């Protein structure tokens, strides 16, 4: 058995845990929208065609914001196609995912769905194939109360009150060669700055997100952020991070340590942003919007997409990952990394929400169920309140091929002192050994374990399916006790655990 020692102290806080950390992402990709959130012929569909079983699961998941409508899709998107009478909306090619976009679900419909799930809209504008004027038009349509051509058009289209979208993404992954309209950091930084200035002439209180690198593995990573922010630092509030993780060549040890790469990614972007701020002699602090992240077996995608010019299916199945116990442990661990950096990561979006690389599966005309990754996200969203705490971890390490030496036990914690509650999140990365963890909680004055939940299985590749939707889930951890200012909890191999403390 492994042994690890931790210390929690409310005096050593990182920063407040923003509710926006528990955001998600919906793109017009695969069956994420059509057949995911929207299926008018489904037995549970409401009057607007949205699946009520999916709505219930999204609410249970605890999602706070949703980034929309992309993603790669947005760089070819004409927002005007998605408003007005459905019968008059044009059918378009979705070049990002070689499929057909019917525009049956657009801005109005998606905003009404967000009201049903009690989440905030985070809207992306197309800076790939369009530009400043189109972004201004969308802002006028969405946020101006009345009296202008586009505001009155929105009212005629059935929305009297403005959408009042506060967070806006200035394009998507503009460094990516797969992106329609890919441009250099120099050109994008100038475009982002000009677009931000223009949008603020309409509403100076918008929260704007500039595109960071589309991944830490990009050859321009770091330099992209530096150049973009050298132009746009004074004009935007966030720089974005995107990261996806997958097990490669059977290397489970490296995969389970993916969150160490998240830590490094965040800290590198923070250092770069702070460097630019220092050079500019600015007192402003740049926050991070980690607005795409998840486990995604992206290496499998391109081989499955249609390629013929006469083959553009509507809502084909793309990246419907089954998600295993190991995948869920990594998802939980990445969330822990975001919490550890709560002073700078103040917005995040797990990509995506339903069917496509998603915690929720929805069968056509059939049931919806929770995939393994649902559980760490929902539990963390529910328990992580107040401020994030620095956690001192003394644990044995092992060497991974991808990340070098990493601790076998990882941890993050939050404390809501006013409510008298704290939460501890733990991962055991060992494939073979249990971990006995002792935690000094004396400074928190903890007296009770409210609940202790663990996700694990003897088979790290176990997954939920429509036939066995409860194969993987959270189970009470009966080996969590607190006495004399010390919490003791035992972690199974390849596991994620949440402990709520009073």
Just list the catalytic residues.
173, 292
For the chain, count helices (H), then strands (E): 11, 26
Give one DSSP letter per residue of 76-109, joined into a string.
G--GGGGSS-GGGPPPEEETTTTEEE--SS-HHH
Which SS3 state, helix, strand or coil, does residue 111 take? Answer: helix
Distance CA 225, CA 213 (A): 7
Distance CA 464, CA 476 (A): 19
Distance CA 320, CA 99 (A): 16
Distance CA 50, CA 41 (A): 9
What number of other Cβ atoms are within 10 A of residue 250's Cβ?
A: 8
Q: Give the phi and the psi of residue 404 in degrees, each rounded to 5.
A: 75, -150
Distance CA 238, CA 269 (A): 11
Burial class (CB in 10 A: 0-12, 13-18, 19+), 309: exposed
- Cα 403 to its chain centre, rounded Å, is 23
CA proximity to 71, closest of 34, 105, 32? 32
Q: Retrieve residue 207's tokens.
A: 């929260």
Distance CA 370, CA 61 (A): 9
Q: Give the phi and the psi of residue 154 in degrees, each rounded to 5.
A: -60, -40
Distance CA 275, CA 149 (A): 43
Which SS3 state, helix, strand or coil, does residue 118 take? Answer: coil
Q: What angle do CA 226, 66, 323 make, to 5 degrees?
A: 95
Q: From residue 303, how far is each of 293, 299, 300 by CA, in Å?
A: 22, 9, 6
Give one DSSP letter per residue of 167-199, joined into a string.
EEEE-S-TT-TTSTT---HHHHHHHHHHHHHHH
Do residues 58 and 98 make contact, with C-beta atoms less than 8 angstroms apart?
Answer: no
Write the secondary structure of 434-475 as one string of H (helix), E (strand) and C (coil): CEEEEEECHHHCCCCEEEEEEECCCCCCCECCCCCCCCCCEE
């Amino acid at each position: 058995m492994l042994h690890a020692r931790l210390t929690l102290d409310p005096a050593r806080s990182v920063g407040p845990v923003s509710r926006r950390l528990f955001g998600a992402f919906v793109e017009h990709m695969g069956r994420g929208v059509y057949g995911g959130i929207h299926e008018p012929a489904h037995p549970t569909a409401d009057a607007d065609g949205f699946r009520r079983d999916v709505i219930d699961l999204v609410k249970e998941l605890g999602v706070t914001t949703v980034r929309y409508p992309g993603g790669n899709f947005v760089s070819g998107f004409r927002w005007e196609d998605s408003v007005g009478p459905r019968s008059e909306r044009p059918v378009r090619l979705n070049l990002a995912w070689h499929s057909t976009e019917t525009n049956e679900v657009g801005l109005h419909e998606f905003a009404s769905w967000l009201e049903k799930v009690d989440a905030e809209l985070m809207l992306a504008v197309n800076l790939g194939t369009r530009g400043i004027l189109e972004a201004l038009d969308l802002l006028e349509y969405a946020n101006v109360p009345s009296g202008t051509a586009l505001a009155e058009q929105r009212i005629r289209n059935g929305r009297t009150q403005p959408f009042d979208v506060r967070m806006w993404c200035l394009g998507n992954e503009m460094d990516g060669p797969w992106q329609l309209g890919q441009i250099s950091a120099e050109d994008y930084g100038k475009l982002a700055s000009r677009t931000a200035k223009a949008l603020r002439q309409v509403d100076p209180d918008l929260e704007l997100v500039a595109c960071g690198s589309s991944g830490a593995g990009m050859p321009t990573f770091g330099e992209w952020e530096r150049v973009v922010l050298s132009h746009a630092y004074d004009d935007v509030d966030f720089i974005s991070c995107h990261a996806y993780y997958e097990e490669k060549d059977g290397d489970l040890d490296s995969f389970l340590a993916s969150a160490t790469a998240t830590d490094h990614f965040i800290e590198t972007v923070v250092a770069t942003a702070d460097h630019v701020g220092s050079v500019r002699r600015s007192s402003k602090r740049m926050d991070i919007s980690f607005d795409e992240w998840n486990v995604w077996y992206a290496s499998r995608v391109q081989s499955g997409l249609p390629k013929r010019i006469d083959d553009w299916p509507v809502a084909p199945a793309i990246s419907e990952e089954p998600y295993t116990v190991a995948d869920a442990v990594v998802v939980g661990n990445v969330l822990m990394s975001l919490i550890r950096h709560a002073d700078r990561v103040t917005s995040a979006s797990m990509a995506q929400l339903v069917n496509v690389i998603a915690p929720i599966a929805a069968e056509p005309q059939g049931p919806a169920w929770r995939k393994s990754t649902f559980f760490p996200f929902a539990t963390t969203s529910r328990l992580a309140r107040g401020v994030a705490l620095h956690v001192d971890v003394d644990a044995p390490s092992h060497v991974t091929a991808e990340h070098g030496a990493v601790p076998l036990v990882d941890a993050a914690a939050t404390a809501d002192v006013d409510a008298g509650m704290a939460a501890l999140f733990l991962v055991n990365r060992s494939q073979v050994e249990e971990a006995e963890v002792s935690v000094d909680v004396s400074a928190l004055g903890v007296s009770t374990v409210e609940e202790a939940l663990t996700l694990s299985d003897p088979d790290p590749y176990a997954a939920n399916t429509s036939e066995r939707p409860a194969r993987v889930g959270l189970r009470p951890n009966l080996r969590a006790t607190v006495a004399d200012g010390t919490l003791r909890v035992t972690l199974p191999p390849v596991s994620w655990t949440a402990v709520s403390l009073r």
